[in-house]
Amino acid sequence: MADKSPLFQRRTAGVLLHPTSLPCSESCWGKNSKNAFGTLGKDAYYFIDLIAQAGLTIWQMLPTGPTQADMSPYQSISAHAGNPNLISLDWLLEKGWINAEDVQLVGEQSLGDAHQQCALSFFKYLESDKGTETRELFQTFCSQQHYWLDDFALFCALRSEFKGASWVSWPKELRAHDQAALKKSREQLKVKIDFVLFEQFAFFTQWQALKKYANQKGIYLFGDMPIFVGHDSADVWAQQHYFQLDEEGNPLTVAGVPPDYFSETGQHWGNPHYAWDAMQADGFQWWLARLRTQLQLFDLIRIDHFRGFEAYWEIPGNSHDARLGKWVKAPGEAFLKACFDAYPGLPLVAENLGVITDEVEALRNQFELPGMLVLQFAFDGNTNNPHLPHNHTRSDVIYTGTHDNDTTVGWYDTLSDANRQQLKQYCFNSTDDVPWLLIEAALASVGRMAIIPMQDFLELDGGHRMNMPGTTDKNWVWTFSWDQVEPTLADRIRQLLRAYHRVEQH
């Protein structure tokens, strides 16, 4: 079904880069800000120009929801909302939505404080004669997104009121979602709620403008939808009956994976597991709403940890040892049927890495979902390894590495001499250096879509990796700079894409 998408009807190539990893040239950040990450501002548009010039047609990224303090995109406080840290303040100034005199430079104050100032300036603008059209757009946005936005805005306001404390520690009537208590809170916390509404309106408006620009350039946005949501999130708080929780709201079971390639002791993610019976009883409405939002943002969606729809690793809620978990069956077939019935032609890609069984692959193939293959996993001496190019199929999406892998240069540095020799021999004893040896192997693959991490295009070493699974230090903070982009990079990429028929010939 998904591989019948127009994006899989021809050979294409793309780049993997999270928007936070873009350079930040925002004037509002201040020249000396040490916390400057990429935004949806001008650097995002420059990046689209660069990849369009190179002939790439896919921009893949990580989940774009608001994060916790550790910045992990996979522990968001909302399955729907956008990350307000991606908002471009320069864009707001250029649109006239805020007044420059109302906002101090970020770096001299926190980003949150700067957004507070922006919100005050924005609502002042809405009340002016110049703000009439924007006011109507704002009201329409709030109305169209109410199915998630109302709960999310209140959740954030309450979270702020209780100094960031988890919702399980809130007063009982709020923890239990008592309607009278919620109504009172909406009245008392209107200013904080309006602040959240402003941030989400700014994010979604900027996103749609960027997406339109990308699509006009022939670039499609490839998003990432984590299978699980964070426990301390608006979704779990507002719809507790969909999750395996005790009477106090604490998880009875949590998600993770057993020991695998990435971790000898497994991974303990801590996300609460779904109450699949409750979800199936109403036709998976929670998931259909989630997909509705994702389809507004992306042209193609990767389902993270797809294998969890066939069976998931269930760890006791009171344990921090992932090895104590067990596999539990999930209603994957019924779930996917409901998704494709609601959204025919749903453009999904299955993340099928890790401990994958025949049952998982049968479910993926039943719905014709493209899977993922990673060349860094290929060269272990086993000629039957599915990641080796001669075992690829047209419906596979081919990667040199992912955000969880080392950069290809970093990976190569750790290879044994025997594995290095296998790589060179497999690639016809090419004299090309890594990472271009692996990049070319990915582009030469029969797989219709090939995705290359930006770090590999920039030939960066392991000090530039995005994430190291099983660790919490220095993840999710990598950014590149424009001076790392060689003037000849776009032409070099385009020449390879022409050679392997991944760019339209003119």
Active site residues: 304, 351, 404
**DSSP 3-state assignment of 300?**
strand
* CA atoms within a 13 Å half-sphere pointing along the CA-CB vector of 480: 24
Distance CA 313, CA 63 (A): 22
CA–CA gap between residue 387 and residue 403 (Å, rounded): 17
Radius of gyration over every alpha carbon of the chain, rounded to an integer in angstroms: 23
Cα distance between residue 457 and residue 276, in whole Å: 41
Give the three-class secondary structure for 259: coil
Q: What is the DSSP letter of 407?
A: P
Residue 477, CB-side half-sphere exposure with 13 Å CA sphere: 10
The verdict on whether omega for the bond into residue 435 sits within 30 degrees of 0, i.e. cis, is yes
Give CA–CA dist 229/251, Å, rounded. Answer: 12
* Spatial distance between the Cα atoms of 338 and 335, rounded to a whole number of angstroms: 5
Sequence-ordered strand ranges (E) for 250-382: 253-257, 267-272, 300-303, 311-316, 326-329, 348-350, 372-374
CA distance 408 to 388: 15
Q: Which has the closest alpha carbon to 453: 390, 375, 387?
A: 375
CA distance linking residue 85 with residue 78, whole number of Å: 14
Q: Report which secondary-structure segment, H or E, holds 92.
A: helix 89-95
Q: What share of the chain is helix, strand, coil (3-state, %, to 5)?
A: 45, 10, 40
Nearest CA to 50 among 6, 14, 24? Answer: 14
